[in-house]
């Protein structure tokens, strides 16, 4: 082959490699944004689920005080269990926060040379994932090499080196996901992170009904929710009217109970959707590493459902 022919062949190969590298970096950036958004939403849902348990602890304390049974053994055992669940949820949320940070670092890596940032993030993620796995009694651990630094790989151009690093970084995150997901899908793990909905509603409703029946609460927030579709709001005389009308009072109480039931049910649904979101990330990593266009449809839908669940988990705010 002539010198000109060799130069042409090398140039053509360099152009082809550059094109593949560019596609990898572009898709890597998209995966990073989607992964960061999903992980951040999952972290928020885990946090509000833990906060809901604070309401449950307060309800137990109220019931015991009202019934003059402060410090009874059954309640103490129940509260210890709730605290243990909150601690595990906190570790779960911490892992998801680190996952979000790793996706953010992946995006930086796809945009410019930020291998140092990613190395720090993936090391933290591996550590937090191991702590979470230990908290739920799992013997599974993240392989040590996952938390190690990504390799410096030579290539025809800077873009080729960067693309190779993005692919390796993606594989590291994928490895963590594949270790964690089966544990999260285990029903025993779910029981350690999600309290039975009936237990939640029974305790909270008992406290709320007791206080509600005495007229200790304002009815305004419930009235406003019911009237919102018609643009109606309660007024300064609403509480007095409800207090005198037993049917109105019973109706509003039932609405509050249903809202509590929805919150408790949403905690379990939120957990399940978070696991589904993690599963939806796997094929995206596989597509990136195989050079196949990424389809974010499933993940986007699940993230939207997680946002709705987070809203349901938030306490109803009165005036």
- Give the residue extent of every domain in the chain: 24-313
Average pLDDT over the chain, rounded to whole? Answer: 82
Higher pLDDT, 35 or 16: 35
- Scan for tokens 């305004």, then name that residue: 220
State how far the Cα of 60 lies from the Cα of 54, in Å rounded to an integer. 10
User: Cβ contacts of residue 83 below 8 Å, gap of 6+?
Assistant: 57
Residue 216 pLDDT level (bands cut at 50, 70, 90):
low
Q: Does pTM top 0.95 for this prediction?
A: no
Residue 5 pLDDT level (bands cut at 50, 70, 90):
very low
Percent of the chain predicted with pLDDT > 90: 45
pLDDT in tens, 248-287: 777 877 767 676 677 667 788 999 999 999 999 999 999 9
pLDDT in tens, 76-104: 888 888 899 999 999 999 999 999 999 99
pLDDT in tens, 173-205: 999 999 999 999 999 999 999 977 566 666 666
- Report the Cα 107 to chain-centroid distance in Å: 20
pLDDT score of 208: 65
């Amino acid at each position: 082959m002539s010198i000109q022919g060799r130069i042409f062949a090398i140039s053509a190969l360099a152009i082809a490699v550059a094109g593949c590298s560019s596609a990898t970096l572009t898709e890597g950036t998209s995966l990073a944004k989607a992964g960061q958004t999903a992980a951040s939403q999952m972290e928020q849902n885990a946090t509000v689920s833990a906060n809901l348990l604070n309401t449950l602890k307060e309800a137990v304390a109220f019931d015991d005080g009202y019934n003059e049974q402060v410090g009874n053994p059954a309640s103490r055992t129940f509260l210890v269990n709730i605290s243990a669940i909150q601690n595990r949820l906190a570790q779960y949320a911490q892992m998801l926060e680190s996952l979000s940070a790793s996706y953010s670092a992946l995006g930086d890596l796809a945009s410019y040379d930020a291998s140092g940032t990613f190395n720090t993030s993936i090391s933290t993620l591996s550590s937090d994932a191991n702590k979470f796995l230990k908290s739920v009694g799992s013997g599974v651990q993240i392989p040590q090499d996952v938390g190690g630094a990504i390799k410096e790989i030579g290539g025809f151009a800077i873009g080729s080196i960067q693309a190779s690093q993005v692919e390796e970084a993606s594989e590291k995150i994928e490895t963590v996901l594949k270790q964690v997901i089966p544990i999260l899908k285990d029903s025993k793990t779910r029981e350690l992170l999600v309290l039975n909905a009936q237990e939640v509603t029974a305790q909270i409703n008992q406290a709320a009904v007791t206080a509600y029946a005495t007229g200790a609460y304002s009815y305004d927030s419930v009235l406003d929710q019911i009237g919102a579709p018609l643009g109606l709001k309660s007024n300064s005389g609403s509480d007095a009217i409800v207090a005198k009308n037993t049917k109105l009072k019973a109706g509003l109480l039932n609405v509050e109970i249903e809202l509590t039931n929805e919150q408790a049910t949403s905690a379990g649904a939120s957990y399940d959707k978070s696991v589904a979101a993690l599963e939806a990330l796997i094929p995206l990593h596989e597509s990136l590493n195989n050079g196949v266009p990424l389809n974010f449809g499933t993940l986007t839908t699940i993230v939207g459902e997680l946002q709705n669940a987070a809203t349901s988990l938030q306490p109803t705010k009165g005036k």
